[in-house]
Structure 1
């Protein structure tokens, strides 16, 4: 394992620093917006703006890479992403913050493209699962660390915005000084949504549902947590508990899906996730610091691995040459869901109270269970041989596969 990770150590260090800054922003901004009396709709729209920018970056960032290359694009996006938190701290206005969140989403999507292209360049079929599983674990861990940094200073001051900017800026240094081979110029992969639904309707819908639930959580989770005790500190702990739960459960659930079947795990995880969401909704008035964090950890342990399980499930039915196209299409479905989710959840929270954030996540999780079960009962078809979960995890990464290679669509199969 050490031999496999040594060539990519510099890149992983860069990822760690960058995403620590991103994790700090992800919790700081909703908390500060709430303290500034931004409406719940405004906060949800800001979250939707981030994921809209992220989706555009995933689909359009390849054009930037082809024009000026990976290193220059990485440095340019890091500079813009570093400026964004400073502008957040200087201009306290919902419309400006929404625009800046869209810019940040675009920048980080392109940064992921560069980093993951580089990781793919330095890995092969024998060690790609190890490298990308380590990358996924680092992503969740440092994101949690960044969220806890909101406790360092008063969120109403400028200090935390400055720290976020510094972290993003420093994160560019390892890449700028790296002597690793630069990846080849990427080729565009067309996202074929029709073919995606022919391959795995359940997998595609599961990614859309994951985007709806997780996008709403990232945008509005701090608002929900703050409302429980009327203290800012709980927001950092609540979000971090959910992320840690997701990090711990990622591999066990994935490996379990290898053993008992992806569909069964998808149904079980969605169903239990819906139940935990209902508990967070119903019990919101009586939750204290401890019980809120315990439930957040359970919710994260179910909600966050769902995307990777869905990707693995969809890839079980894909032809060998369709993995990149399927992964990019599933990413698009997640991005669409994550764009709609914060806005829809914020509307429900405005009407029913902040606790209804998890009523929203419960409804979409249970709707997924109903769809998969109905489809299963209607079409009892024999599943193809599953791919290993570690291989699916490497295919489920954030953005780079959108530009990895040209794919020619195959004729529709029976799945």
Structure 2
């Protein structure tokens, strides 16, 4: 809840402090840079201090960071603090998820992480709505965010449960993933571009022309709820067809919703909410569809490596997206945010259409089940990078340059030399 409140509060307060669009875009990018660094180096801190002590220390830093924004309204200071907040959130998720993963059994893991995902999304949405409790120009909302984050330490600090095993890091081969599934890899990057820009700048867009901070929070919450609701219907549909055709359709619908937001949302609050719902319904599940498509080509031993690599690719897009969108906003106004997302989704749809002509559909008997990918994909879990199981890259290697065009899924997971153990990271 504390993190969700900050995601809406900070862009609105930045606008009040007369930060420019580019400065606000960098603020959004800084969070994702920090999140990536937290996924990458968090395992070192957790191993050194242990799960409980590390969690308490990181909560203290995250709670303090929320207050610094209100005390020092300077863009450079905010960038640094927001980067630190992103790193803290990544490490907190890593500790929570590694604990849940170890305590769950193979029979209960799907249920455990489904409940965890539902709680996470619900509380992020609730945190955003809390902005209605105060004025972004004041101090109390920052204090509420700090209090909420501080409370997170209580259950773990008082826990008598045995701590999980130390978190290890997983090596990732980016080139291997790109050759294995170009659509999955490029799709993860494209979704990061669009959704990273949305999280960083949508609160300002929603409040444009309205002096009501709660409107921005409700807009974000409506979009998130729509994405959560559409996730499994779209996923089940993708299990029954060539996923790439559904990815093209969802990308085009995301682009259409983005253009509708740019053109019509300023005319009424009702249109703002309706088009925001449509955008969330298609734009947010797109990452899960791309991950599910990539998993169709990945063997079980390479699942953690693939999840980590796609997560890193998504994060790279999320770092770049807010800066690109804010540059467009500087030139043409706030509607530039959704011109940017629409452009990203259209280009990606064209790329997937091209790939349809280059590779045949995955046979149904070798295709993965969407629900197995959805839990990890939708929560964007950094624990995928830190799990001790399968900690080393598998012996599987990327096919040669021509292989993606004609090889079967089994051939495409055939082996290659291991790459260097570069540590790569992950809402």
Q: Common fold, TM-score beyond 0.5?
A: yes
For the aligned residues, what is the CA RMSD? 1.4
> What is residue 295 of structure 2 aligned with on the other side?
315
Q: Do the aligned residues in 1 keep the contact of 2:207 with 2:215 (CA within 8 Å)?
A: yes
Q: Do the aligned residues in 1 keep the contact of 2:27 with 2:78 (CA within 8 Å)?
A: yes
Residue of 373, 380, 383 corresponding to 1:400: 383
Aligned partners of 1:226, 1:358: CA distance in 2, in Å? Answer: 14
- Structure that is richer in helix per residue: 1
SS at match of 1:260: coil
SS at match of 1:189: coil
Mean Cα deviation higher: 177-186 or 356-365: 177-186
Aligned partners of 2:362, 2:144: CA distance in 1, in Å? Answer: 53
Q: CA deviation at 1:233?
A: 2.8
Does 2:115 align with 1:134?
Answer: yes
> What is residue 239 of structure 1 aligned with on the other side?
220
Residue of 165, 171, 184 corresponding to 1:203: 184
Query: Would the alpha carbon gap of residues 94 and 249 (structure 1) be closer, same or farther in structure 2, given more than 3 Å must change?
Result: same
> What is residue 30 of structure 2 aligned with on the other side?
49
Superposition map of 1:135-284 within 5 A:
135-284=116-265
Q: CA deviation at 1:230?
A: 4.3
Note the alpha carbon deviations across 1:293-318, whole angstroms, 9 max, x for none. Answer: 11111111111111122111111110
Q: Do the aligned residues in 2 keep the contact of 1:274 with 1:363 (CA within 8 Å)?
A: yes
Q: CA deviation at 1:44?
A: 0.5
Aligned partners of 1:207, 1:348: CA distance in 2, in Å? Answer: 22
TM-score (norm 2): 0.90
Q: Do the aligned residues in 2 keep the contact of 1:284 with 1:355 (CA within 8 Å)?
A: no
> What is residue 412 of structure 1 aligned with on the other side?
398
Residue of 66, 71, 74 corresponding to 1:93: 74
Structure 2: runs of 5+ lacking an equivalent: 400-406, 413-427
> What is residue 370 of structure 1 aligned with on the other side?
350
Q: CA deviation at 1:171?
A: 1.1
TM-score (norm 1): 0.92
Aligned partners of 2:160, 2:238: CA distance in 1, in Å? Answer: 39
Note the alpha carbon deviations across 1:331-370, whole angstroms, 9 max, x for none. Answer: 1001100000000000000001101100100110111111
Runs of 4 or more off by more than 3 Å in structure 1? 381-384
Aligned partners of 2:281, 2:264: CA distance in 1, in Å? Answer: 19
Query: Would the alpha carbon gap of residues 409 and 59 (structure 1) be closer, same or farther in structure 2, given more than 3 Å must change?
Result: farther
Query: Would the alpha carbon gap of residues 311 and 228 (structure 1) be closer, same or farther in structure 2, given more than 3 Å must change?
Result: farther
Superposition map of 1:282-361 within 5 A:
282-286=263-267, 288-361=268-341
Aligned partners of 2:140, 2:74: CA distance in 1, in Å? Answer: 18
